[in-house]
Amino acid sequence: MFIPLLWLLSLLIAPTPAFAQLSAPQFQLNPANSSAPTFTVQGVVINSVTGEPVHAALVQIHFPRQNSLLTAADGKFRFEGIPQGQINLTVRKPGFFSEQELRQGAPYVDHPIQVGPDMPPVILKLVPEGVIYGRATGPDGEPVNNVPVRLLYGALTEGERNWQQRGGGQTNDEGEFRLFGLAPGIYYLIAGPRASPMPPPGRGTDAPPQGYGAAYYGGSSDISSAAPIAITPGKQIRADLSLPSELLHQISGLVVGAPAGMPANVQLFTPDGQAVPVGIRTNPQNGAFTGFVPSGSYVLKANVTGKGGLVGVGSQPLTVTGDTAGIRLDVGPTAILPIAVELRSTRNIQPDPRLNGQQMVSVQLISQGSVTRNIRSSTMEGPPENRSLAIRNVEPGAYRVRIRPFGPWYVESARRGPANLLTDDLSIDAGDLSTPLEIVLRDDLAALAGTVLSRGQPTQGIVILAPDSRAQAPITFVAGPVGKFEKRDLPPGEYRVFALDRVDGLEYSNPEAMRSFSSGAQFVRLAPNGEAAVNLELQTRGE
Amino acid sequence: MRLSIVRTFALLAAIWPAAAAPQSSANQSAENQSSGESQFRITGTVVDGVTGVPLAKANVFISPMTDRSRRISTSSAAEGRFAFNDLPPGKYVLSGSAKGYPYRMFQQHETFSTGVAVGKDLVSENLVLQLFPLGSISGQVTDEFSDPVRSAQVMLLHSGVNGQGGLRTERQVTTDDQGRYRFAGLQAGRYYIAVSAQPWYAQHNVQTDLVPQSALDASAVSRVQPGLEQNADLDVAYPLTYSPRETDAARATPIALQPGEKATADVNLAPVRALHLRLTAPGIDLSQNVGVQLSESVPGAPPGFGRAQITNLNKDYVDVAGLLPGNFVVNLNLNSNAAPNERQTLRQEITVSRNGEVTLAELNSPVNVAGEVKVSTQTVPLERAGIGIRNRNTGAMFSTAISPDGKFEFRNAPVNAGLYDLTLLGAPGFYVDHVESTGAKTSGRTFEIQGSDAVNLTVYAARGVTQVGGVAQHDGKPVAGAMILLVPQNSTGDPLSLRRDQSDSDGTFMLPQVLPGSYTVVAVENGWDQEWSNPAVIKTWLGLGETIDVSPNAKKTVAVKVQ
């Protein structure tokens, strides 16, 4: 057993939300030797779908001391000797998500528990996870074992759906698979291909090996016509897969240009960027590679990793219709897209000269035109005395540019050559990386004040500022207990402003997804150094 | 005869069940027909090894032993009959597979089989090729609440490996959300199922006699540390548990898996109070790049890792929680960010039975071992060859390549003090004559590292390993399928120093690449299931063996009585 030091870190970090919600007097309380009155906190843990009690669930109070217990057979829990004040109760159990986990970082309106006289029992909900299980069979109904099964999951980050590949493992000897721990959402299931570089026994070496091609759930080989699987809490779905039998073709070639002594790793991808799980063997001595793949269109990529990370990359489209030998995969040094940042301070803010103006911003390139998105983030490059911001390993293609300034700055403009990246995609052509990405930051920020109302009464709510600029992420925050908010340091510009009761599972970066709330939205134009005020009617999404 | 690539074939048979389609016997190509000697046959029956029922439509293969890549296949007819006609004399590997029956060689034991000798006055007809269906062991792991335990490590231990009745972890899987696991494609044999898991709810940051309440109260307020867990009932761990709920390895019940059996083995876990250890190392700042490794040694079980957590770490001590009573080796790796050969390790063997403090004092930094290989005092390039060393006590093995100038170095390898056996790897025709050294005591092919100083070895290699062949006989008649064991003089029972073969259908056997030296050759019928590397067992066999002296480059032939 190796004890990672990270464990300690996570222990230290995990309970911080509890600290943050404590006020100073409670912080000093020491119930062990205090005569202050204490109370009993009791309640029940239930399954959010069935309403049934959940036994052996871990309920925890994290402060002032950690107090944990497992619920009884009837789902009930009871903490004695808890001082008056606000507490944070968490609950978890394998097979369930807590409601916090399912928010995926989205803002939410908190309902803290007030400990005191006559407090009602607490009801904590656990959301049962989803499961997709089934069997992979071949054309003759035979079970297909050892075939890789994976999911594409549309995760929401900052209100934007990002399709992520999620490993699922392999089918067992009976062709069965079981993918569990699934959060509610939309999934695509895909299995295969299963290629084996060795011919089966009893066959001559001249016979092409037989394998299984890839198939999405629904029988399609293409995601655009695949059947999505909707997982709701607690849903267990059987999804059997039928894999086509395919001839496998041998592809072989040479990685050219890798630095001496650094072996290249060759991988196959679909044109839309998903890794194809076939083993491609590379000879570390001479860079020769070989593998067996079904017919189709692919992208072959080579990565060369040295001491300091990725040192060389190569990429090349490949259409396989038969055995293909003599493929030449050129590897070059990783391409670097330089970024120039200019600061225009109207408040005479002098940034630390050591920062060279560069570390004031983080830039991400988000690949467009494919299902799964490839995201490249900016890093500091160059020798310590002359650091500059850049993005490494940018492949040709179209990208959306997302820019996040640190501190009280906003993006006035972002250009590359003639392209305005606040409105247009960034297009990178092969071999064209010398033109820098030029970003101008300003500090004449604006402010927005307002109140969230429900039938004329101020109320709590989540405020969303959806900007006009594509380079800027929506801004979300919780309007306090009485519905009032005052937000400073906002980038000037035009916004649609919404107030919702909850935003979990909502694609609020997508104007289409927000269309149904547009009637209650306010349009706000914030001028540099300007201030504006809005009253927002709370729109409810319900359970 | 021995086939080293048998595992590859077995794998293929498992991967390609559908592809191994029956082929008609008409397309078997009789080979080497130009010779008038092509007049012999291999015939027989394919049967289920358990029931004896003949298997039709089985794939049957033969390959000449001198060229295994040439394979002739046929398919068994009704009553499981097969025949290969017009064969030139020689030895052949006979094998087969069928639907639901994995690839198996004729009279196969481990990686050995009986080769079929074909020729004048040799019996190669009416052979019985037994195939055995594969079995599986599956089950569910549950906890004290009867809830399924997910992500539990389930180990399949195979008993009776290496001829010493020991256990080997054959495979390891993790349970799914229903606590289920499955090991399929298993040969018949004795297995154990062992589960290592942690209670998912365990809280080890509790008050103990090592961590006084007063000290934590003060620090919790002043340093805003996470609170101390109040509920000591959750400071628990699961011991390594054998199916169905045995925590004492000595009392665990093996699963005697029959061919083709689908066995079920559920495991129920019960928590016990976990222990806390405080590790100190005087004079060493433990807060800097320290890694702690605790490996548990359970008698009769393969070495495993204790499951534990660091609950506190500062310059004076490291607190480790979540342990259960047992014997551990503590490795405290200092400056773990440094290159492997610059790392230092404090190593201590401890027995944990209650909470306590352990002072680590034994400094154990890896020893830099390097050297060069000389063949008869000259440096001869040994292409693609390597040096392997094995610690006699711990069994730890390390290997490294020999560079074109004959030099080698064990870089990045934690070679510690101990007695090592040295061998040449990948250098057919060469053997290690003896080793000389500065920094280590040497004797023959062994060297002993005592301190932590660098060790420089000179390996004197010689050309001329030899082969030992012969015939296994009983009352003057050849015996097929006997286990042949080549025992070096003064054998220590190290399984790696013993060589085995299986006698072929004409009783003959052949052990290539034998190092010069003195040996006793024994032949044991049904020796495969015995503890063939147990020195006490070997001793009972030596009396009927044949003692031989193998000199370099000589081919030795010996007739051995089968016992």
Q: Do B106 and B187 lie in a common domain?
A: no
- At B415-449, the pLDDT tens digits run 777 888 888 887 777 888 889 988 788 888 889 88
In a domain, A123, yes or no: yes
Q: Do A401 and A312 lie in a common domain?
A: no
| Cβ <8 Å between A94 and B292 | no
| Cβ <8 Å between A202 and B227 | no
| Cβ <8 Å between B9 and A63 | no
In this predicted structure, what is the pLDDT of residue A355?
Answer: 57
Judged by a CB distance cut-off of 8 A, whether residue A74 touches chain B is no
- At A318-329, the pLDDT tens digits run 999 988 999 998
Query: Which of A7, A68, A202 is opposite residue B229, by nearest beta carbon?
Result: A68
303-332 in chain A: CB under 8 A from chain B: none
What backbone phi and psi angles, to 5 degrees, belong to B490? 55, 45
Query: Into how many domains does chain A fold?
Result: 5
* CATH number, domain with residue A257: 2.60.40.10
Q: Do B138 and B269 lie in a common domain?
A: yes
Report the first-to-last Cα separation within chain B, whole angstroms: 19
Q: Which of chain A's residues have a Cβ under 8 Å away from the Cβ of B296?
A: 1
Q: Do A149 and A237 lie in a common domain?
A: yes
Query: What is the residue-wise DSSP string for B477-514?
Result: EE-TTPEEEEEETT----GGG-EEEE--TTSEEEEEEE
Q: Do B444 and B505 lie in a common domain?
A: no
- Determine the Cα–Cα distance for residues B560 and B520; give it in Å rounded to an integer: 10
| Cβ <8 Å between B97 and A174 | no
Q: Which residue of A3, A147, A248, A307 to mutate against B (max B Cβ within 10 Å)?
A: A3
* Statement: residue B213 has pLDDT above 50: no
**Quick check: helix, strand or coil at residue A515?**
helix
Separation of CA A40 from chain center? 39
| Cβ <8 Å between B291 and A1 | no
- Determine the Cα–Cα distance for residues B270 and B147; give it in Å rounded to an integer: 12
Q: Which of chain B's residues have a Cβ under 8 Å away from the Cβ of A5?
A: 290-291, 310, 313
Among A501-515, B84-98, B102-116, B324-338, which is the least confidently predicted range? Answer: B324-338
Q: Which of A405, A365, A356 is nearest to A385 (CA)?
A: A356
The residue-averaged pLDDT of B49-62 equals 90
- Determine the Cα–Cα distance for residues B100 and B55; give it in Å rounded to an integer: 11
In a domain, B218, yes or no: no
Q: Which residues contact B472 (CB under 8 A, 6 or more apart)?
A: B478, B479, B482, B484, B503, B507, B508, B509, B523, B560, B562
Q: Do B514 and B453 lie in a common domain?
A: no
Q: Which of chain A's residues have a Cβ under 8 Å away from the Cβ of B59?
A: 201-202
| Cβ <8 Å between A69 and B305 | no
CA distances from A15 to A22, A124, A477 (A): 12, 18, 22
- At B454-476, the pLDDT tens digits run 888 998 888 777 788 888 888 88
pTM score, two decimals?
0.74
* Statement: residue B377 has pLDDT above 80: no
Q: Do A160 and A114 lie in a common domain?
A: no
Distance from CA of B281 to the nearest CA of A (A): 17
Instruction: Give the dihedral of Cα atoms A63, A66, A67, A70; nearest 10 deg.
Output: 120
In a domain, A8, yes or no: no
Q: Do B144 and B259 lie in a common domain?
A: yes
| Cβ <8 Å between B224 and A19 | yes
In this predicted structure, what is the pLDDT of residue A349?
Answer: 67
Whether the CB-CB separation of B310 and B276 falls below 8 Å is answered with: no
18-37 in chain A: CB under 8 A from chain B: 19, 27-28, 30, 32
| Cross-strand bridge partners of residue B336 | none
The residue-averaged pLDDT of B294-318 equals 69
In this predicted structure, what is the pLDDT of residue B518?
Answer: 85
Query: Into how many domains does chain B fold?
Result: 5
The residue-averaged pLDDT of A205-217 equals 73
In this predicted structure, what is the pLDDT of residue B81?
Answer: 93
Among A85-89, B310-314, B391-395, which is the least confidently predicted range? Answer: B391-395
- Determine the Cα–Cα distance for residues B466 and B444; give it in Å rounded to an integer: 18
| Cβ <8 Å between A14 and B309 | no
* Statement: residue A186 has pLDDT above 80: yes
- At B491-515, the pLDDT tens digits run 666 666 788 889 998 888 988 878 7
- At A162-185, the pLDDT tens digits run 888 887 788 998 899 999 999 998
- At A383-431, the pLDDT tens digits run 777 778 888 878 778 898 989 888 888 999 999 999 999 888 998 887 6
Q: Do A139 and A238 lie in a common domain?
A: yes
Q: Do B154 and B282 lie in a common domain?
A: no
Q: Do A432 and A450 lie in a common domain?
A: no
In this predicted structure, what is the pLDDT of residue B453?
Answer: 78
In this predicted structure, what is the pLDDT of residue B10?
Answer: 32
- Determine the Cα–Cα distance for residues B75 and B46; give it in Å rounded to an integer: 10
* Statement: residue B211 has pLDDT above 70: no
Instruction: Give the position of tokens 């084996």.
Output: A196
In a domain, B59, yes or no: yes
In a domain, B214, yes or no: no
Query: Which of A27, A146, A181 is opposite residue B177, by nearest beta carbon?
Result: A181
Q: Do A164 and A210 lie in a common domain?
A: yes
Strand boundaries in A199-323, DSSP class E = 210-212, 215-216, 229-231, 236-238, 241-242, 245-256, 264-269, 275-276, 281-282, 288-294, 296-306, 309-320
Q: Do B99 and B58 lie in a common domain?
A: yes
Judged by a CB distance cut-off of 8 A, whether residue A246 touches chain B is no
* Statement: residue A197 has pLDDT above 60: no
- At A65-90, the pLDDT tens digits run 789 999 999 999 999 988 888 888 99
| Cross-strand bridge partners of residue B390 | B397, B421
Distance from CA of B177 to the nearest CA of A (A): 6
Q: Do B333 and B418 lie in a common domain?
A: no
| Cβ <8 Å between B292 and A198 | no
Q: Do A252 and A326 lie in a common domain?
A: yes
182-201 in chain A: CB under 8 A from chain B: 196, 198, 200-201
Distance from CA of B306 to the nearest CA of A (A): 6
Distance from CA of A465 to the nearest CA of B (A): 36
Q: B116: domain range?
A: 6-131
Q: A88: domain range?
A: 13-128
Q: Do B441 and B506 lie in a common domain?
A: no
Among A95-99, A340-344, B20-24, which is the least confidently predicted range? Answer: B20-24
The residue-averaged pLDDT of B365-372 equals 79
In this predicted structure, what is the pLDDT of residue A4?
Answer: 38
User: Which H helix or E strand runs over B43?
Assistant: strand B40-48
Q: Do B255 and B336 lie in a common domain?
A: no
Q: What is the tally of helices (H) and strands (E) in chain A?
A: 5, 47
Query: Which of A131, A140, A202 is opposite residue B59, by nearest beta carbon?
Result: A202
The residue-averaged pLDDT of A459-471 equals 87
Q: Cis ω on the peptide bond leading into residue A64 (within 30° of 0)?
A: yes
Query: What is the residue-wise DSSP string for A340-405?
Result: EEEEE-SS-----GGGTTGGGEEEEEEE-SSSBPPEEE-EEES-GGG-EEEEESPPSEEEEEEEEE
Size of interface A-B (CB pairs under 8 A): 139
| Cβ <8 Å between A67 and B305 | no
Q: Which residue of A26, A62, A66 to mutate against B (max B Cβ within 10 Å)?
A: A66
In a domain, A1, yes or no: no
User: Which H helix or E strand runs over A248?
Assistant: strand A245-256
The per-residue pLDDT of chain B, averaged, comes to: 79
Output DSSP code: residue B474: E
What backbone phi and psi angles, to 5 degrees, belong to A287? 80, 10
In this predicted structure, what is the pLDDT of residue A10?
Answer: 32
Q: Do A424 and A524 lie in a common domain?
A: no
Q: Do A91 and A64 lie in a common domain?
A: yes
In a domain, B210, yes or no: no
| Cβ <8 Å between B229 and A55 | no
In this predicted structure, what is the pLDDT of residue A41?
Answer: 93
Query: Between residues A170 and B295, which one has the greater pLDDT?
Result: A170
Q: Which of chain A's residues have a Cβ under 8 Å away from the Cβ of B225?
A: 12
Query: Which of A56, A180, A202 is opposite residue B177, by nearest beta carbon?
Result: A180
The residue-averaged pLDDT of A9-23 equals 31
Q: Do B410 and B357 lie in a common domain?
A: no
Judged by a CB distance cut-off of 8 A, whether residue A400 touches chain B is no
| Cβ <8 Å between B18 and A142 | yes
| Cβ <8 Å between A5 and B136 | no
* CATH number, domain with residue A174: 2.60.40.1120
Q: Do A137 and A236 lie in a common domain?
A: yes
Whether the CB-CB separation of A186 and A210 falls below 8 Å is answered with: no
Q: Minimal Cα distance from B58: which residue of A?
A: A202
Of B131, B154, B177, the one marking the end of a domain is B131
- At A359-370, the pLDDT tens digits run 788 999 988 877
In this predicted structure, what is the pLDDT of residue B267?
Answer: 97
User: Which H helix or E strand runs over B435?
Assistant: strand B430-438
What backbone phi and psi angles, to 5 degrees, belong to A27? -60, -35
- Determine the Cα–Cα distance for residues B153 and B173; give it in Å rounded to an integer: 6
Q: Which of chain A's residues have a Cβ under 8 Å away from the Cβ of B8?
A: 198
Most confident among A493-507, B280-294, B385-399 (mean pLDDT): A493-507
| Cβ <8 Å between A200 and B12 | yes
Query: How many CA atoms are closer than 13 Å to the CA of A321, on its beta-carbon side?
Result: 1
What amino acid occupies position A357? G
Q: Do A184 and A253 lie in a common domain?
A: no
Length of chain B in terms of residues written: 563
- At A466-485, the pLDDT tens digits run 998 777 889 999 887 788 99
CA distances from B277 to A3, A249, B287, B352, B539 (A): 14, 58, 17, 8, 45
Q: Do B27 and B138 lie in a common domain?
A: no
- At B531-559, the pLDDT tens digits run 777 778 888 888 888 888 887 777 778 88
| Cβ <8 Å between B309 and A173 | no
* CATH number, domain with residue B55: 2.60.40.1120
Judged by a CB distance cut-off of 8 A, whether residue A123 touches chain B is no
| Cβ <8 Å between A201 and B103 | yes
Instruction: Give the dihedral of Cα atoms B541, B546, B549, B551; nearest 10 deg.
Output: -110
User: What's the pLDDT band for B161 if we cut at 50, 70, 90?
Assistant: low
| Cβ <8 Å between B231 and A67 | yes
What amino acid occupies position A98? S
User: What's the pLDDT band for A513 if we cut at 50, 70, 90?
Assistant: confident
Q: What percent of chain A has pLDDT over 70?
A: 87
| Cross-strand bridge partners of residue B557 | B469
* CATH number, domain with residue B404: 2.60.40
In this predicted structure, what is the pLDDT of residue A300?
Answer: 92
